[in-house]
Amino acid sequence: MKHKVAGRLQKSSGPSVWLEFSRLAELVEGINLGQGFPDWDPPEFVVEASIKSSKSKGIHRYARSSGHKNLVEEITRSYEERLKHKINPLADVLVTVGASEALYLALMTYVNPGDEVLVIEPAFDLYYGAINMAGGVAKGVSLKPGQDGFQLDPSDLDKQMSPKTKVLMLNTPHNPTGKVFTRDEYLEIAKVLKKYPNCIVVSDEVYEHLVYDDMEHIPFANIPGMGDRTISVYSAGKTFSITGWKIGWIIGNSDLVRPLQGCQQWVVFSVATHLQEAIAMCLQAAKEPYQGESSYYSWLREEYTQKRSILFEGLKHSGFKPILPQGSFFILTEYEHLKPEWDHFPDTENSMLEQGKIYINPATRSYKDYNFARNLAFNNSVVSIPVSAFMGYCAESSPDAQRYVRFAFCKSDALLRHACKKMIFS
Ligand code: PMP
Ligand code: GLN
């Protein structure tokens, strides 16, 4: 007997783009510029913190459900300055299993079945999955490519918002476009939000330290009048190159965070104690001078600035039309002019599918960006991510949805250079 998954999950129960393309990277033994994980070992002070913390007395027991005391206190010290307001470590902070669990909890706690959740598209695909699990209805507002990178027209946002909008999902620096929202853009968004006092904002800031040139990361909670309705989400994964640790945190007003702390008890109850202790040490250490820079954060920014330039120039040299990102570790590029014939599902993958070696979302079989990325993996051994994966359910309906692929530059300089050399098209 075939058991049906719950109706609200039918759209999202198939394999995501990560399952298909990470597997493809293994099968073709290719260079994986797909999933965004740094391919180097974390800095020495991070590894040392994990060794030291795992040797501490009493550290291998369940942690306090809302977060290990040393970590919530260190988060408070580190973020009071950035968020420019007092933080109560016990009531305003929640430690989660990565930013992923933070996003899930925020949506499960505040969205009733049928409530609308507005996402700025393209958007990190996990948002759509979590919205579905909560029984919410995702509505999109598109970022549009322009002279100065991707732009959001506040009047589009205004048109999509209604008293039914329970949550607005914001993300800066933005995955996948690399856009960094400016204070002026956020003031415009805040103007629209003021008409809808019941709408909560979930502000995903996991790439907070990865901003380039003269851009500045602006936490949405710092915009006047927005602090009390904003749930800010962070992750140690990107900042310390430890995506496998899965430690994230939420900061917000206690009225918003207390119910999330309540929900945490029923999901994972608590997060790995010794890793939380280690992150507390890392947050302290990261403020100190590092490798000739004023702090670990400045060093990280410099490193990524160089990697961005290697991949951007390399993609241009290969004939792509990349868009220079202002933040994050991703570059979007147009690709259709290079190999228009690569719009078909590759035969090699078809046979892998038949042999059960790979598992795909069948709806994507005809998508041009998926097929370009699949063919690129088979022919050039370089794995990218098709951007229609970040379009929720409108990848078929929106003409722009299949226009780009995404490359990640959180990889060694040598690997980035090697990947670009492999992408010379004849
Ligand atoms: N938000 C965005 C925008 C991301 O790109 C990711 C990917 N890692 C996450 C959240 C999830 O972060 P974590 O790995 O800490 O769960
Ligand atoms: N956030 C990372 C990316 O966009 C990883 C995504 C994931 O594994 N779910 O590449």
Does residue 400 register a pLDDT over 80?
A: no
Spell out the SS3 assignment of the chain.
Answer: CCCCCCHHHCCCCCCCHHHHHHHHHHHCCCEECCCCCCCCCCCHHHHHHHHHHHCCCCCCCCCCCCCCHHHHHHHHHHHHHHHCCCCCCCCCEEEEEHHHHHHHHHHHHHCCCCCEEEEEECCCCHHHHHHHHCCCEEEEEECEEECCEEECCHHHHHHHCCCCEEEEEEECCCCCCCCCCCHHHHHHHHHHHCCCCCCEEEEECCCCCCECCCCCCCCHHHCCCCHHHEEEEEEHHHHCCCCCCCEEEEECCHHHHHHHHHHHHHHCCCCCHHHHHHHHHHHHHCCCCECCECCHHHHHHHHHHHHHHHHHHHHHHCCCEEECCCECCEEEEECCCCCCCCCCCCHHHHHHHHCCCCCCCHHHHHCHHHHHHHHHHHHHCEECEEHHHHCCCCCCCCCCCCCEEEEECCCCHHHHHHHHHHCCCC
Examine the domain organization and report whether 314 and 203 are in the same domain: no
Q: How far is the CA of 173 from the centre of ligand 2 (A)?
A: 14
Q: How far apart are CA 120 and CA 141, in angstroms?
A: 5
In ligand 2, the atom with minimum distance to the C-alpha of 124 is 4
Among the listed residues 104, 137, 124, 150, the one whose alpha carbon sits nearest the alpha carbon of residue 17? 124
CB of residue 45 inside a 6 A radius of ligand 2: no
Q: How far is the CA of 348 from the centre of ligand 1 (A)?
A: 31
Is the residue at 250 inside a domain? yes
CB atoms within 10 A of CB 26: 12
CB atoms within 10 A of CB 302: 14
Q: What is the predicted pLDDT for the residue at 230?
A: 98
- Write the residue with the smallest CA distance to atom 9 of ligand 2: 18
CATH, residue 236? 3.40.640.10
Examine the domain organization and report whether 224 and 342 are in the same domain: no
Q: Let me know: does 261 contact 94? Beta carbons within 8 Å.
A: yes
Examine the domain organization and report whether 23 and 119 are in the same domain: no
CB of residue 237 inside a 6 A radius of ligand 1: yes
Say how many CA atoms lie within 13 Å of 67 toward its Cβ.
32
In ligand 1, the atom with minimum distance to the C-alpha of 246 is 15
From 257, 285, 313, give the residue that closes a domain.
285
- Write the residue with the smallest CA distance to atom 14 of ligand 1: 98
Q: How far apart are CA 251 and CA 263, in angstroms?
A: 15
pLDDT tens readout for residues 41-92: 999 999 999 999 999 999 999 999 999 999 999 999 999 999 999 999 999 9
Q: Which of 1-10, 230-239, 240-249 has the lowest mean pLDDT?
A: 1-10
In ligand 2, the atom with minimum distance to the C-alpha of 100 is 9
Over residues 99-112, the mean pLDDT reads: 98
Examine the domain organization and report whether 301 and 194 are in the same domain: no
Is the residue at 268 inside a domain? yes
Percent share of the chain, pLDDT over 70: 98
pLDDT tens readout for residues 122-156: 999 999 999 999 999 999 999 998 888 899 999 99
Q: Which of 2-6, 168-172, 306-310 has the lowest mean pLDDT?
A: 2-6
Examine the domain organization and report whether 107 and 235 are in the same domain: yes
Is the residue at 55 inside a domain? yes
Examine the domain organization and report whether 392 and 269 are in the same domain: no
Q: How far is the CA of 206 from the centre of ligand 1 (A)?
A: 6
Q: What is the predicted pLDDT for the residue at 147?
A: 84
Q: How far is the CA of 242 from the centre of ligand 2 (A)?
A: 13
Our mutation pick for probing the ligand 1 site, out of 126, 240, 267, counting the most ligand atoms within 8 A of Cβ, is: 126
pLDDT band at 192, cuts 50/70/90? Answer: very high
Examine the domain organization and report whether 133 and 34 are in the same domain: no
pLDDT band at 394, cuts 50/70/90? Answer: low
pLDDT tens readout for residues 251-261: 999 999 999 99
- Write the residue with the smallest CA distance to atom 3 of ligand 2: 36
Is the residue at 311 inside a domain? yes
Ligand nearest to the CA of 385: 2
Longest Cα–Cα distance of the chain, Å, equals 64
Is the residue at 80 inside a domain? yes
From 262, 285, 308, give the residue that closes a domain.
285
Examine the domain organization and report whether 315 and 220 are in the same domain: no
Q: What is the predicted pLDDT for the residue at 9?
A: 85
pLDDT band at 393, cuts 50/70/90? Answer: low
From 254, 285, 316, give the residue that closes a domain.
285
Can you read off the two tokens belonging to residue 246? 């899965």
pLDDT band at 421, cuts 50/70/90? Answer: very high
Examine the domain organization and report whether 60 and 28 are in the same domain: no
- Write the residue with the smallest CA distance to atom 12 of ligand 1: 99
Pairing of strands 230-235, 247-251: antiparallel
Is the residue at 331 inside a domain? yes
pLDDT band at 401, cuts 50/70/90? Answer: confident
In ligand 2, the atom with minimum distance to the C-alpha of 125 is 9
| Residues in Cβ contact with 94 at an 8 Å cutoff, skipping those fewer than 6 apart | 66, 67, 102, 105, 249, 250, 257, 260, 261, 264
Count of structural domains within the chain: 2
CATH, residue 12? 3.90.1150.10
Examine the domain organization and report whether 218 and 323 are in the same domain: no
CB atoms within 10 A of CB 425: 13
Examine the domain organization and report whether 270 and 341 are in the same domain: no
Is the residue at 174 inside a domain? yes
Does residue 398 register a pLDDT over 70?
A: no
Over residues 412-419, the mean pLDDT reads: 98
Beta pairing partners, 167: 117, 200
Is the residue at 1 inside a domain? no
Over residues 154-167, the mean pLDDT reads: 96
Q: What is the predicted pLDDT for the residue at 227?
A: 97
Our mutation pick for probing the ligand 2 site, out of 19, 37, 104, counting the most ligand atoms within 8 A of Cβ, is: 37
CB of residue 206 inside a 6 A radius of ligand 1: yes
Q: Which amino acid is at 50?
A: S
Q: Which domain holds residue 255?
A: 44-285
Say how many CA atoms lie within 13 Å of 338 toward its Cβ.
25
Examine the domain organization and report whether 271 and 187 are in the same domain: yes
Q: Let me know: does 135 contact 111? Beta carbons within 8 Å.
A: yes
